[in-house]
Amino acid sequence: MLTWSKVEISDYIADTLVMDSKAKNDNDVDAPPGVNIRRLREEQELSLRKLAKLCIPELVHTTIRRIENNDGWTRDTIIRLSKALGVNNHEDLFLPSELFNYSLLNIESKKRIAELVQESFDAELYRKNLDKISQ
């Protein structure tokens, strides 16, 4: 059985899972953390300006728009936004929406998800190797 790093798992999940909610912008950005920040903001019925004021220290609303469009962010800004949005673990903002709040799952659920991802990754790797052999 193959094993792989957390970074490879994260990349694989981000590349293969279909996002539940698509970002509503011209760039069709659908990758975390922007899509998760936008989804949470909209769920809480917060405007960009209201969310900016909830951050400590306060952010400029255009910064949040930039982040929602995945045009760049800093760790500090993501932490401030996660606190303002009530997210316990800022790293959850980087997960696909299907795994949002992953940090709150019990250990058995996390193990099962890891097993499923590993099986899926192994199957994809096997298919890619078959394709190379058949060419």
Encode the chain (135 residues) as per-residue pLDDT tens digits.
455 555 555 555 544 443 333 333 333 346 779 999 999 999 999 999 999 999 999 999 999 999 999 888 999 999 999 999 999 888 888 887 777 777 788 889 888 888 888 888 888 888 888 877 777
Backbone angles phi, psi at 111, to 5 degrees: -65, -40
DSSP code string of the chain: -----HHHHHHHHHHHSPPSS---STT----TTHHHHHHHHHHTT--HHHHHHHSSSPPPHHHHHHHHTTS---HHHHHHHHHHHT-S-GGGGGS-GGGTTGGGS-HHHHHHHHHHHHHHHHHHHHHHHHHHHH-
The 3-state secondary structure of 25-49 reads CCCCCCCCCHHHHHHHHHHCCCCHH
Confirm whether 56 is domain-assigned: yes
Domain that holds residue 116: 6-134
Confirm whether 1 is domain-assigned: no
Q: Which of 28, 41, 99, 102 is nearest to 70 (CA)?
A: 28
Q: How far apart are the first and last CA of the chain?
A: 24
Confirm whether 33 is domain-assigned: yes
Q: How many domains does the chain have?
A: 1
**What CATH number does residue 100 fall under?**
1.10.260.40
Confirm whether 55 is domain-assigned: yes
Confirm whether 58 is domain-assigned: yes
Confirm whether 22 is domain-assigned: yes
Residue 17, pLDDT score = 43
Confirm whether 52 is domain-assigned: yes
Confirm whether 87 is domain-assigned: yes
Residue 133, pLDDT score = 78
Provide the 8-state DSSP code for 102. Answer: G
